[in-house]
Amino acid sequence: MRDYEIRAALRSELRALHAGDADALIIEELGLCTGTARVDVAVINSSITGYEIKSDQDTLSRLPGQIEVYSRALDYVTVVACPAHVEKIVRLVPAWFGITEAEAGGAAVTLQRVRAGRKNASVEPYALVQLLWRDEALSLLREFGLERGVKSKPRAAILRRLAGARSVEELGRRVRHQLRSRADWRTSGQAAGSQV
């Protein structure tokens, strides 16, 4: 089973699951922590949920590094894997990660939940605000009255100030709103998002 087959089944399931959620945005290849890692599919609504696909062609060699980055930036994570990887993934990922098995069934791929995911209790503010473009982060600082002294600084300085400006819960709300409001994801080098 190949990545594109699992991805197509996952996209179809996510579109059906979020069909009634006007605020849901599905993004493919969402870059995290300044491109340190990309999650295969993300759903942005009242949380940021990442889905990492592990097909028969994949090894699990990158998974430990992905776990570290995803744990810093995402509210929920589910690994969607072919049957050959599931047992090892259960042992590798944190208990709060969800696991879904993708199984080939003739012409279709079926997705079966192995373990439900739970909310990540350790999202880091700096990793969260790294999802924003420079102008978006500066605009938030302006709203908070904290842009003085960083307007002409590099993006990293702006993000550091923003990360300390509010609670992770409020930053999460603001970041999610901004991501859902973006008109053109492609201009940033990100994959395009689609409203559900």
Q: Distance from CA of residue 58 to its chain's centroid?
A: 20
pLDDT at 107: 80
What is the CB neighbour count within 10 angstroms for residue 28? 19
pLDDT at 146: 95
The amino acid that residue 18 corresponds to is: H
Tokens, residue 163:
């990360």
Give domain limits for the chain: 3-115, 125-183
Q: Which residue has the tokens 């500066």?
A: 138
DSSP state of 23: T
Q: Give the CATH fold of the 3-115 domain.
A: Trna Endonuclease; Chain: A, domain 1 (3.40.1350)
Distances (CA, A) of 113 to 11, 26, 100, 103: 15, 20, 4, 11
Are 28 and 41 in contact, with CB atoms under 8 Å apart? yes
* pTM reported for the whole predicted model: 0.92
pLDDT, one tens digit per residue, over 43-93 is: 999 999 999 999 999 999 999 999 999 999 999 999 999 999 999 999 999
